[in-house]
Amino acid sequence: MSAIRSYASLIDYEIRKSLARKRILILLALTFLLEVGLYLVLTRLPTLLIDPFAGIIWSVGIIAPSAGLVHVLALTIGSATTAEEYETGTADYWFTRPISRIQYFIGKVVGGLALLSIIVLTYSVVSLAIAWFAFGPQSRLEVFPAGVFVSVFSALPFYTIGLAFGEVLRRSMISTILSGTVFFSSTLIETYANIAAAIGNDPSLLTVVRYLPTWATVGTTSTILLETLDISIGVPGGVFLLSGVGAENLGQAFLS
């Protein structure tokens, strides 16, 4: 079996296997429900708030999942990428094939990452389609690919964390729980630290949160998109698009 065929088989297998997991399907359903529900709410808001952003309202559909949901999806995919193979014994099957362990690991990791990329691209395209239908022709679409890429890139740390737990523990559910604990604990600590920094006027706490895995991941997509699209909270309706900005940035805003 050639290296290319080995990688292709592993990637295809990983995508198909991941899509058969119930928890992945549940997260997918939640993601697309979020997209539909978000735009349904936006269509009910006063036009004074929406009109300044009607042409770039597609960005909301990329920013919203990147505030945490895509990271949970990434760690869920990563935590079962190799762990599930050890649980079911299918890893032994792959090791009997004419592929090396390195090829096996690379193929599995790339397969999980490919699935994550496909999911992000799909909900981003759905977001663009809904925005176009509900609010008319969209503009600044040259930024769209960057938004998709940044969303995937920002989820990589938690994909890696889930993958590491899965490889060490070799139990997909335990790995998912522990990876999720890391994410939610980091989010809570960052939130409370920023609130304390804002109330106590203590910028040193903002330095501490930079060591948390959520610090540079949760707010990355929103920060880059909002800066690229020149969206400011001072513009009517800007607060709705700024809702995905990381807590660390909000803490700095209070202290400035």
Predicted confidence (pLDDT) per residue in 151-168, tens digit: 999 999 999 999 999 999
Model confidence at 247, pLDDT cuts 50, 70, 90, reads very low
What is the dihedral sign for C-alpha 81, 85, 90, 93? positive
Q: Furthest-apart CA pair in the chain: how many Å? A: 64
- In this prediction the pTM is 0.86
* Nearest residue to 62 via CA among 136, 140, 121, 137: 121
CA-CA distance, 86 to 122, in Å (whole number)? Answer: 30
At 90-109, the pLDDT tens digits run: 887 887 888 888 888 999 99
What are the angstrom distances between the C-alpha of 164 and each of 172, 188, 254?
11, 22, 36
Pick from 58, 61, 175: nearest CA to 112: 175
Query: Among 253, 218, 209, 256, which residue's Cα sits nearest to residue 233?
Result: 253
What proportion of the chain, given as a percentage, has pLDDT over 90? 55
What is the C-alpha to C-alpha distance for residues 156 and 121, in angstroms, rounded to an integer?
Answer: 15
Q: How many domains does the chain have?
A: 1
* Residue 117 token pair: 């990329």
Query: How many Å apart are CA 75 and CA 1, to the nearest integer?
Result: 31
Tell me the pLDDT of the chain averaged across its residues: 86
Amino acid at 127: S
How far apart are alpha carbons 14 and 122 in whole angstroms?
A: 18
- In the chain, % helix, strand, coil (3-state, to 5) comes to 80, 0, 20
How many Cβ atoms from other residues are within 10 Å of residue 122's Cβ? Answer: 14
Residue type, 254: F
**Could you tell me the residue range of the domain that residue 228 belongs to?**
3-255
Which residues have C-beta within 8 Å of that of residue 32, sequence separation ≥ 6?
A: 123, 126
pLDDT band at 232 (very low <50, low <70, confident <90, very high): low
